[in-house]
Amino acid sequence: MNYQLLLECHAAGTAITQQEARLLDLELDSQLASIKVSRTQGCIEIAPPHICRAANVRQDSFWITCFAAILDELIPVAVGEKSRGATVFDELVWNGYLVHD
């Protein structure tokens, strides 16, 4: 699945269906597993400004950060559960992609 293409469509105003969102959720899990073993994943590249705006995240954020933020909007996590965005942030820090003070 090309999650970047779906995020591009979302940024252009095309709605992501619930079925696509569920597939994207599985893809996010796969991307999280991949960043633990490889530093060459496209998900840890900087997303274009229009994707960051559509995800309501800071400009110059990683694709995976935008990806998680959009999924959190489409499929909210249960009360008391950690958001996808928080999970991604923790993994990025843990794997050395971000430095957290």
In a domain, residue 100? The reply is no
Please name every residue paired with 46 in a beta bridge, in sequence order, or none if there are none: 62
The yes-or-no verdict on residue 48 having pLDDT over 60 is yes
- The tokens describing 53, both together, are 């705006």
**Confidence class of residue 3 from pLDDT cuts 50, 70 and 90?**
confident
In a domain, residue 8? The reply is yes
Q: Domain range holding 60?
A: 3-94
Alpha carbon distances (Å) from 6 to 38, 45, 87? 23, 16, 21
Whole-angstrom distance, CA of residue 5 vs CA of residue 58: 20
In a domain, residue 71? The reply is yes
34 vs 36, higher pLDDT: 34
pLDDT given at position 101: 59
Burial class of residue 99 in the structure, from the number of CB atoms within 10 Å of its CB (0-12 exposed, 13-18 middle, 19+ buried): exposed
Number of independent structural domains in the chain: 1
**Confidence class of residue 44 from pLDDT cuts 50, 70 and 90?**
confident
Question: Can you give the C-alpha Rg of the chain in angstroms?
Answer: 13
